[in-house]
Amino acid sequence: MRCEIIAIGTELLLGQIVDANSSWIGGQLALAGIDSHFQTKVGDNLERIVGAIRIALERSDAVILCGGLGPTQDDITRDAIARVMGVGLAPDEAVAGRIREIFRSRKREMPANNLRQAEVPEGAWVIPQMPGTAPGLVCPLGDKVIYAVPGVPLEMREMIAGAVIPDLRRRSGMTAVIESRVLRTWGQPESALAELLAGRMAELDRVGNPTLAFLASGIEGIKVRITVKAPDSATARQWLDEEEQRLRDLLGELVFGVDEQTMEAVVLELLRAHGWSLGVAEVATGGLMSTRLSAAPGAAEVFRGAVVVGADRIAQEWLGAPAGSLLSEAAVKAMALGICRVLGTEVGLAATAVIDPQEQAGYRMGTAFLGLAINGAAEFQPVRLPGRPEQIRQFSVISLLNFLRLRLLF
């Protein structure tokens, strides 16, 4: 069973609204074991909507239309479905009564054009769930089917979960599930990961299940997504566990987390396991490190605070940095040790970087110095970071946290 998603609305094409509905529906289809190979966005134009539906029906068994079920002139999803089915629209008195009741319950007068929402393509039926005034539709077309749900997320989700997914599962006769897991990595570009996993990916290409995909995530590194299709969730989790272990054996310390785990959450958990607290001297990171650490669950148990350094004098007087440029091994080591002294922590971090396009102290833009102190012993790591100033700051944060992560692991 292949199901395609078509999101309807000119506002989606103009970028005025992000199409989060299609992503959510795609996830629900995957959990139900329904293959979905295409997602389309189309504006509020009858001919183009009709064309999109016909193309979708040529390559898929089912189509979910999201949006265009409102009462206004540009809500033409019903008309497009009727055109594709070759039928007319007929008023559904039960739906009309439900719409009137909704307005009555809200003590509001119903505009006459709301009754357009009660028009149903002949041969179709209304989805029982109707939390708003827009009814969802199930429209059979030979051995295929078209579903229509509102674009309002709350209404859409209730109809998809309560009616569309169960109907698709019944039609498919399948009980398989599709589940994914994401391994989060830092330290190597996508091309290097592809080389490390080339043998495994070639083997999986032959068998077809599981599958691997790379997801470039900018300042969050490269994600490796594992997807399995299994008879049930328990089996899917077992297969995901096995494949995750194979990939960890190949990638080693490059993997820092799974699914929604962030670098800061992982580092804080490692610090908690050691019984150590953390302080940060923020020069290049300008408060970004504190923001990320503070937002992580349980941060208050480990993260003691930070000093945001805006002037060399602060670094020298408060943190013991030597006179001269902060772009040096001696400076970041001194600041990492100094923040431990000031805040009474076992672990201290510091980072400086060239943010300005102009060279500083002979260093080019993106040159960064990472400093780390653990129980009185300081280390230093130079790195070159890409991008614009804001990206360099963000990359400094995750690079510094990864520097600490690797030291805490070994």
Q: What is the pLDDT of residues 39-96, one digit of tens each?
A: 999 999 999 999 999 999 999 999 999 999 988 888 899 999 999 999 999 998 888 8
Quickly list DSSP for 208-262: -SSEEEEEE-GGG-EEEEEEEEESSHHHHHHHHHHHHHHHHHHHGGGEEEETT--
Whole-angstrom distance, CA of residue 338 vs CA of residue 378: 10
Task: Please give the model's pTM, rounded to 2 decimal places.
Answer: 0.72
Into which CATH architecture does domain 263-409 fall?
Answer: Alpha-Beta Complex (3.90)
By the 8 A CB rule, do 159 and 151 touch? no
In the chain, residues under CATH classification 3.90.950.20 are: 263-409
By the 8 A CB rule, do 239 and 208 touch? no
What is the average per-residue pLDDT within 353-359? 79
| Strand ordering across the sheet containing 39-42 | 39-42, 3-8, 62-66, 144-149, 137-141, 125-126
In the chain, residues under CATH classification 3.30.70.2860 are: 177-258
What is the average per-residue pLDDT within 203-213? 90
In the chain, residues under CATH classification 3.40.980.10 are: 3-172
φ and ψ at 201, to 5 degrees? -65, -35
C-alpha distances (whole Å) from 98 to each of 33, 84, 133, 148, 239 are 34, 27, 8, 18, 47
Give just the sign of the alpha carbon dihedral 231, 232, 238, 242. positive
Largest CA distance in the chain: 83
* pLDDT at residue 359 is higher than 70: no
Quickly list DSSP for 295-311: HSTTGGGTEEEEEE--S
Whole-angstrom distance, CA of residue 192 vs CA of residue 173: 42
3-172 to CATH, choices 2.70.70.10, 3.50.50.60, 3.40.980.10, 3.40.50.720: 3.40.980.10
CATH class of 177-258: alpha beta
DSSP H helical segments within 8-92, as ranges? 10-13, 20-31, 46-59, 77-85
Whole-angstrom distance, CA of residue 280 vs CA of residue 352: 12
pLDDT digits (tens, 9 = 90+) for 360-381: 767 889 889 999 999 999 999 9
pLDDT digits (tens, 9 = 90+) for 233-275: 899 999 999 999 999 999 999 999 999 999 999 999 999 999 9
